[in-house]
């Protein structure tokens, strides 16, 4: 079957440049549907009153496609849902696409694809971390293949089905983890209350070396000496290498920015509180693994405490409570079992 495809079309053809904005503070009692970056990480838009929205936001419509320009190494693209008779807003971090010439789901799949992401990262500027931003003018020059709408819908339907299968697989893989957490709570109780009276310890004496952040060197898709683990590699409290990036490390930072078996890496810089503090135990088994500045390395004294125990503790509601108390400046006297 021959498919008529327009040669690569610049994304700027679909980019919304003058959609207008709304200041919700002028109508404090009005309801709004807000598409924000934290809402994306949770998985659904926020339904809020105007008084609870801090500043002017972009006007958007159902069917618009959103692309996050901040923390660009995390792939965030969203199709705006159907919200009849409601005012829909988007925070300023989104680039908005709207056109009758392109199917929304087809465009979203392209915006999270590897071929787009490699080009997208070339449009990024900033000093690092959450200050990195993609330049919309440069993004507009990236091109997308544009088959007829019927073919776009067919391709999107296939990719949507593949996404659904991946989600079901992740949920199935998560069942043993949920069982593990239930067993943990059954054995040790709630860490925040320590109702069973186990011996406790501050965290610092259990460390082999002080925690530290990872490398600021931007990772690349090109295969280099070290795999650079990122927040995106921590999914559902498990390590995934599906989206590997690489760096070359200078010799003087190898010890500080690389990983050994039993190290914990923890998400320490991310827009969503839900994902902040998620961690995994890594076992590179001699492979060259580094980690980036959005992660923190925790290297424990394994003669005192097991890293898997700490990871499971941090997953419990009580462990999360302890973790966020520490972020608020309180001393963390984590409930730890100091026996074999």
User: What digits encode the pLDDT tens for the residues 15-69?
Assistant: 998 889 999 989 999 999 999 988 887 788 989 999 888 789 999 999 999 999 9
**Does position 148 have pLDDT exceeding 70, yes or no?**
yes
Mean pLDDT of 68-81: 90
**Does position 277 have pLDDT exceeding 60, yes or no?**
yes
Q: How confident is the model at residue 183 (pLDDT cuts 50, 70, 90)?
A: confident
Asked if domains 6-160 and 189-327 share a fold, the reply is yes
**Does position 337 have pLDDT exceeding 50, yes or no?**
no
| Distance separating alpha carbons of residues 3 and 182, to the nearest angstrom | 53
CA atoms within 13 A on the CB side of 173: 12
**Domain at 189-327, CATH class:** alpha beta
pTM here?
Answer: 0.54
Q: How confident is the model at residue 262 (pLDDT cuts 50, 70, 90)?
A: very high
Residue percentage of the chain with pLDDT more than 90: 52
Supply the Cα-derived Rg of the chain in whole angstroms. 23
The encoded tokens of residue 52 equal 């609870």
Other beta carbons within 10 angstroms of residue 1's beta carbon come to: 3
Residue 33: phi and psi, rounded to 5, are -105, 120
**Does position 328 have pLDDT exceeding 50, yes or no?**
no
Task: Check if the beta carbon of residue 229 is closer than 8 Å to that of residue 289.
Answer: yes
Of the listed ranges 77-86, 268-277, 294-303, the least confidently predicted one is: 268-277
> What's the confidence (pLDDT) of residue 175?
54
> What's the confidence (pLDDT) of residue 127?
58
Element at 208 (helix H, strand E): strand 207-213
Q: How confident is the model at residue 102 (pLDDT cuts 50, 70, 90)?
A: very high
The full set of domain ranges for the chain reads 6-160, 189-327
Higher pLDDT, 232 or 265: 265
Q: How far apart are the first and last CA of the chain?
A: 66
**Does position 235 have pLDDT exceeding 90, yes or no?**
no
Mean pLDDT of 309-324: 85
Which of 3.40.50.300, 1.10.520.10, 3.30.1360.120, 3.90.220.20 would CATH assign to domain 6-160? 3.90.220.20
Residue 303: phi and psi, rounded to 5, are -80, -15
């Amino acid at each position: 079957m021959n498919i008529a495809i327009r040669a690569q079309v610049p994304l700027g053809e679909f980019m919304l440049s003058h959609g207008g904005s709304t200041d919700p503070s002028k109508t404090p009692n009005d309801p709004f549907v807000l598409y924000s970056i934290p809402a994306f990480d949770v998985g659904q838009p926020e339904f809020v009153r105007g008084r609870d929205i801090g500043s002017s936001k972009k006007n958007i419509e159902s069917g618009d496609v959103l692309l996050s320009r901040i923390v660009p190494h995390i792939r965030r693209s969203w199709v705006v849902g159907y919200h009849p008779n409601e005012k829909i807003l988007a925070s300023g971090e989104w680039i908005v696409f709207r056109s009758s010439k392109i199917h929304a789901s087809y465009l979203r799949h392209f915006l999270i694809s590897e071929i787009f992401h490699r080009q997208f990262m070339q449009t990024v500027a900033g000093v690092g971390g959450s200050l990195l931003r993609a330049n919309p003018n440069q993004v507009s020059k990236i091109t997308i293949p544009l088959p007829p709408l019927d073919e776009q819908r067919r391709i999107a339907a296939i990719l949507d089905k593949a996404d659904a299968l991946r989600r079901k697989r992740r949920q199935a893989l998560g069942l043993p983890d949920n069982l593990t957490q239930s067993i943990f709570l059954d054995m040790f109780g709630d860490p925040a209350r320590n109702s069973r009276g186990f011996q406790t310890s501050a965290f610092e004496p259990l460390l082999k070396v002080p925690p530290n952040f990872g490398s600021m060197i931007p990772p690349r898709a090109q295969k280099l000496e070290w795999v650079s683990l990122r927040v995106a590699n921590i999914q559902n409290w498990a390590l995934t290498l599906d989206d590997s990036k690489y760096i070359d490390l200078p010799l003087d930072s190898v010890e500080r920015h690389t990983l050994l078996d039993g190290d914990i890496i923890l998400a320490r810089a991310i827009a969503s509180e839900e994902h902040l503090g998620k961690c995994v135990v890594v076992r590179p088994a001699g492979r060259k693994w580094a980690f980036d500045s959005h992660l923190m390395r925790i290297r424990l004294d394994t003669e005192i405490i097991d890293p898997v125990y700490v990871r499971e503790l941090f997953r419990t509601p009580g462990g999360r409570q302890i973790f966020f108390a520490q972020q608020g400046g309180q001393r963390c006297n984590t409930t730890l079992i100091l026996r074999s």
